[in-house]
Amino acid sequence: MTQEDSLIDVFEAPFAKSLTGTLWDIGTRFMGSTIDVLKDKKQAGKAAQKYINKYQSRYGLLKLLGMPQGVALKTVYTPVRVLNELSIRQFETTADLEKNYRDSNQRRLQRGECRTEDGITVANKNRYLMVLGNPGAGKSTFLRRLGLEAFKGEAGRFQAQCIPVLIELKQFNTEQKVDLIAAIAEEFTHFGFPSSPEFATKALEAGKLLVLLDGLDEVPNQYTNSVMNAIDNLVTRYDQNRFIASCRIAAYRSNFKHDFNVIELADFDDKQIKQFITNWFSTDLDQESSTADKCWETLKQENNQAAKELAQTPLLLTFLCLVYNRKQSFPPTRSRLYNKALDILLEEWAAEKRIQQEIIHEGLHTDLEKAMLAEIAHEGFVNDELFFNQQKIVKSITDFLGDSVANPKYLDGKKILNAIAAQQGILVQRAEDIYSFSHLTLQEYLTAQYISQKDSRIEELVTKHLTDKRWKEIFLLVAGLKDDAGELLKLMEKATQKLINTDKLHNLLVWVKYRADNSSGDIQPVGKRAIILENALAYALKLALPNVLAYALKLANAHVNANAHYLANAHYLANAHSLANAYALVNAHSLDLPKTLPNAIENFIDYTKWSEKFQIYRDINYAQLASILEQLQQQIPDKNEAKKVYRAFAKKIIYTWLKAFHLTPDMVNLSWQEIKALDNYFYGNLLMVECEKAAVRVSRRTWTEIESRMLMPFRDLQ
């Protein structure tokens, strides 16, 4: 083994040997021996080693959002997907986009059915590539990863045998001549190449470079044309090299002379989010503690769906991982979480990248911009609009700033909209002249921020939208934005009580109160009332089981105290559903009653034993009820009997059950209007519980008083 081979063998990257040969080839064939460069392969090998190490050191580390230490890019990198060109600029109407969103039944505003391809696969196919994406979508990370992948040579996924060189275009922020060849040479100089200007030129002439041009959008507007012309000239002159550039979608101008294939980075899907989290929490301690699995499971929980939506953007997913890493959870007061995410997009990300942002408009500071965006978000949310045509949003900007800044006659609403979309990505273009907020979560947060600033708006929120499920997240965020959410909860309580609007519903609550009062079980009174009312509802709903039963179960679970925590598990839910199933089975005339009735009675018996064990009801003779049910179990008619015999027997079971719990058929024969009222009533009470949890503060006295009145006959309270 020669000394030269020994040197190459210790190189960390498989590409080192190939790069050594390339350097030697360029130095000898193109530069000649008169230039003091790369006198032998050993020197070429050293230069190759130094270049690889310096590139990895500079571009192989991810450090952002105030991270105390960087993370190796190769460790956390998650392969990106790109949208095909046809999906980038779709000429659709706002109505089309709204319909597509609602049909998808997801919180994802980007078209989910667009065909996607792996980013590196696309890069292999195209000599000239323009990578578009919104702020924080991972454009710079993708370009850096391509460079690192190129170092692997044939062993890597990037197949072109090129020397990667990355140029950050934000450096061209003055009136000086844009000299990309000099920038490439300077990059080589920084990374240890001798005679770099000559080498850069000859490498370009040989077609040996992968030129990564990062951040076209980060060039100040007045210099963008100069940079684009310089790129065009470079590609024209050295067209055998490979060129990959990146730019934010809103800042891209498609007037290159050369035919760059344009792709757009897609939002992360669930698979990518999970993979990123797995990559992020990959230390031995994390693996031992299953941190990644716990983070992913937490993010999937129903109460974190809005936060999970933010994770579709790699930058904000990084932020969420940093948050989770601190306390192994996400904060219950999510309004603060979303406010931080908004600040990252508004100003922190640009500051970290040292981007020289242009002033969007004189006098438009961050707080004022938040207020403007909040007003736009609220108006859209009230009108159930997620997508806005350009004319409407420009008018909203102009009207708002016309009352807020000096010299309003110089306002250019369209220019301001374009600047917000290009610099921040809070408002993004979805189709020709159609915009939306980048995430539904941000629109909801800004809507809540707008409402929380005035008491009259909070009253209107409760009066108009208490039972509208679309506004649930707004209620939770408003609760988190107030210093004390007590007044909000009092308003919600009054509005919820008014939903019990018939004598029958009121009398049902009277029955519930009587059965729960002074029962010996150790569950909180409101938990008892929820469980008891659920018994009646299970009969009233019969085969039709809408959300009302689910709300009843959740409300009961929410009020189980520490001494009865066993009720909050699957055992309680199973018994509650067994009761509902029992009612359904005995009322299912269209089913095969000879087969269903034995199961129904068994379910009734199970619920009786469970209820006796936890003593939720007052004055119920459980032993007698169980005995009667067991007798009925032995008296089921022969399967050859007529259907009317079975129906009569099913009715006997129901009457036995109702009598045992001191109910009459009339008390629980509810109209659909009454069932709907109960559905809203349970939902309103459950929403209060969730708002109390989401609040920064609610006085203990206020919440105790509200909780004590839940599911109580409100006329008696008055």
How many Cβ atoms from other residues are within 10 Å of residue 391's Cβ?
11
Asked whether 210 and 241 are in contact (CB, 8 A), the reply is: yes
Average pLDDT score, the chain: 82
pLDDT tens digits, one per residue of 204-245: 998 989 999 999 988 988 899 999 999 999 999 999 999 999
Q: Per-residue pLDDT averaged across 637-649, rounded?
A: 83
Q: What CA–CA distances, in Å, run from 454 to 211, 443, 472?
A: 54, 18, 19
pLDDT at 299 (0 to 100): 94
Q: Residues 6 or more apart from 189 whose CB is under 8 A from it?
A: 196
Q: Dump pLDDT digits (tens) for 470-484.
A: 999 999 999 999 999
Max intra-chain CA distance, the chain: 110
pLDDT tens-digit readout, 667-682: 888 888 888 888 889 8
Q: What pLDDT does 564 receive?
A: 37
166 in helix, strand or coil?
A: strand
Residue 45, phi then psi, degrees to nearest 5:
-65, -40
Within 8 A by CB and 6+ apart from 99, the residues are none
Residue 373 burial (C-beta neighbours within 10 Å; 0-12, 13-18, 19+) = buried
Q: Kindly indicate the confidence band of residue 544, based on its pLDDT and cuts at 50, 70 and 90.
A: very low
Which whole number is the average pLDDT over 513-542? 79
pLDDT above 60 (res 6): no
Report how far residue 125's alpha carbon sits from residue 157's, in angstroms, rounded to the nearest whole number: 12
| pLDDT at residue 533, as a whole number | 82
Q: Which pLDDT belongs to residue 10?
A: 31
pLDDT tens-digit map of 446-461: 999 999 999 999 999 9
Contacting residues for 637 by C-beta, under 8 A, at least 6 apart: 594, 645, 646, 649
Specify whether the CB–CB gap between 20 and 45 falls below 8 A.
yes
C-alpha torsion 322→325→330→331, nearest 10: -90
pLDDT at 550: 64
When pLDDT is averaged across residues 58-68 and rounded to a whole number, the result is 80
- Mean pLDDT in residue range 338-363: 76
Instruction: Give the C-alpha separation, 228 to 245, whole Å.
Output: 11
Q: What is the pLDDT of residues 92-133, one digit of tens each?
A: 778 888 887 787 777 777 655 556 788 899 999 999 999 998
Percent of the chain with pLDDT over 90: 37
Lowest mean pLDDT among 14-23, 69-78, 306-315, 665-674: 14-23
Domains contained in the chain, CATH given = 3-53+115-265 (3.40.50.300), 60-71+268-483 (no CATH), 499-717 (no CATH)
| The predicted structure's pLDDT at residue 317 | 94
Phi and psi at 382, nearest 5°, equal: -60, -40
**CA-CA distances (angstroms) from residue 490 to 556, 576, 699, 715?**
21, 30, 12, 17
pLDDT for 86 beyond 90: no
State how far the alpha carbon of 294 is from the alpha carbons of 155, 324, 616, in Å. 34, 10, 35
Confidence band, pLDDT 50/70/90 cuts, at residue 534: confident
CA distance 196 to 178: 18
Section 377-391 average pLDDT: 94
Is the model more confident about 7 or about 69? 69
Give 46 or 99, the one with higher predicted confidence: 99
* Phi/psi at 367 (5° precision): -65, -40
| pTM for the full predicted model | 0.85
| Helical H segments across 383-498, by residue range | 390-402, 413-423, 440-452, 455-465, 472-481, 486-497
Statement: residue 350 has pLDDT above 70: no
Mean pLDDT in residue range 287-303: 93
